[in-house]
Amino acid sequence: MKLHRILRLASTAGLVLPLLPVVASGAELDLRTAGASGTINQAFFTNTDPQPTGSGYIDSFVRLRSNAGFEQGYNATARPVMPDVNTSPTFTHDIRLSNVPVVVNPTGAAAGSYYEFLLDINQNASNPYLTLYALRFYTNPNALTMAATLADLTSAAGTTLRWDLDTGSDSRIQLNYIFGSGSGSGDMYAYIPISAFAGASSSDYLYLYSAFGTEPGGTGTYFEANDGYEEWTSRGSSTPPPSVPDGGNSLALLGMGLIGLEAARRRISRGSLRQASRLNAA
C-alpha cells in the first residue's frame, strides 16, 4: 500500500503515526519541521539535538557570511581564504580527521558508525528558512598552503573527495533557524558514514566545503542567507593539537628546567639528611 494511502487512512481513523525519517537520493530533504530527519547518500541529517550545545560544545572550524544571498567556503588555516569565509583563526582553521567525534548508531540513522558534525545557522526570525545546497568532505595528508579559491582545495596534491551531497544528482537540505536558540545552539546534525572515508588516516586533514542560500543557476526552491553567519563544528573541541613553532626548543628548555628542579630537590634532601645525622650524633 502506498504511503499516501496509509497516511490518509490513518488520518480518517484518528490515528497518530510517528514521524519517520525521509530517505532521499539526489533530492530535497526538508528539515523545516520539528524533529524532522532524513538520509541522503547514506548520510543522516536531523534538526533534533539529543544533547545540549552552547559554549561548552561549540568550537567552530569554519564560519561563513555573505550579503549576496548565498555563501560558500571551507575551513583552512592557510590565508587568504575564500571571500565568504571568516578570516579569524579562532573560527576558521585546519582540523584532522581524529578531531571529529564518532557516533555509533545515532538515533534514527541506519546502523553503523558515523562522523558527527554540527551546523549552526543564523537567519532573520521573520524569514527563518535557509537552503544548504552544497556539502562536501575532503581529506589530504598535508595541510593546504593556499585556500583563496575552491580549486586551491580540489586541485591540491593529495586531496581526495570523500562524500558529496550531490552524488547522483543535485540535492539540497532546507533548514529552519527557529528551532535553535540563537548563535551557538546548533540547528542540524550531520552524520557522515565512516565507510566514506575508507583508506583515510586519522591524521589526515579534513576539509568541509559547504554553500548556502540561493544557488546561482539552480532550479527549484531555495531560501537565501539573510542574517548573521553559518558555522560548522563538532560536539566537543574541534581545535587541532597545538604545534610547537620553534621546532621543539620550548619543550627542550622545559625539560631541562624540570631536570634542574629535580636535581635541586635531591641536593636539598641529601643536605637535610646530613644535618639530621649530625644532630643525632651530638
Same domain for 197 and 140: yes
Query: Is residue 242, in this structure, part of any structural domain at all?
Result: no
Query: Is residue 239, in this structure, part of any structural domain at all?
Result: no
Note the pLDDT of residue 186.
78
**Domain residues for 266?**
251-282
Same domain for 258 and 228: no
Distance CA 124, CA 88 (A): 24
Per-residue H/E/C for 100-130:
CCEEECCCCCCCCEEEEEEEECCCECCECEE
Antiparallel, parallel or unpaired: β 113-120 and 230-233: antiparallel
Query: Is residue 75, in this structure, part of any structural domain at all?
Result: yes
The pLDDT tens digits of the residues spanning 156-175 come to: 999 999 999 999 999 999 99
Same domain for 270 and 228: no
Query: Is residue 82, in this structure, part of any structural domain at all?
Result: yes
Residue 132 CA: distances (Å) to CA of 141, 182, 187, 215, 233:
28, 18, 12, 9, 16
Q: How high does pLDDT run on average in the chain?
A: 80
Query: Is residue 238, in this structure, part of any structural domain at all?
Result: no
Interval 77-91 mean pLDDT? 97
Per the structure, the count of domains in the chain is 2
Note the pLDDT of residue 234.
84
Note the pLDDT of residue 235.
74
Same domain for 212 and 165: yes
Residue 236 CA: distances (Å) to CA of 50, 56, 102, 118:
14, 7, 11, 10
> For residue 17, what is the DSSP state?
-
Same domain for 229 and 168: yes
Interval 192-207 mean pLDDT? 98
Same domain for 85 and 215: yes
Same domain for 160 and 112: yes
Same domain for 160 and 81: yes
Same domain for 34 and 163: yes
Residue 273 has pLDDT above 50, yes or no: no
What cell does 215 get?
Answer: 544557488
Which of 43, 70, 60, 74 lies closest to 197 in space, CA to CA? 43
Interval 266-277 mean pLDDT? 49
Which of 23, 55, 43 lies closest to 233 in space, CA to CA? 55
The pLDDT tens digits of the residues spanning 236-249 come to: 556 654 543 444 44
Q: pLDDT-based confidence at 27, cuts 50/70/90?
A: confident
Same domain for 191 and 278: no
Q: Is 16:3 a contact under the CB 8 Å cutoff?
A: no
Residue 56 has pLDDT above 70, yes or no: no
Same domain for 209 and 71: yes
Query: Is residue 158, in this structure, part of any structural domain at all?
Result: yes
Same domain for 77 and 17: yes
Query: Is residue 245, in this structure, part of any structural domain at all?
Result: no
Residue 20 has pLDDT above 70, yes or no: no
Query: Is residue 17, in this structure, part of any structural domain at all?
Result: yes
What cell does 43 get?
Answer: 548520510
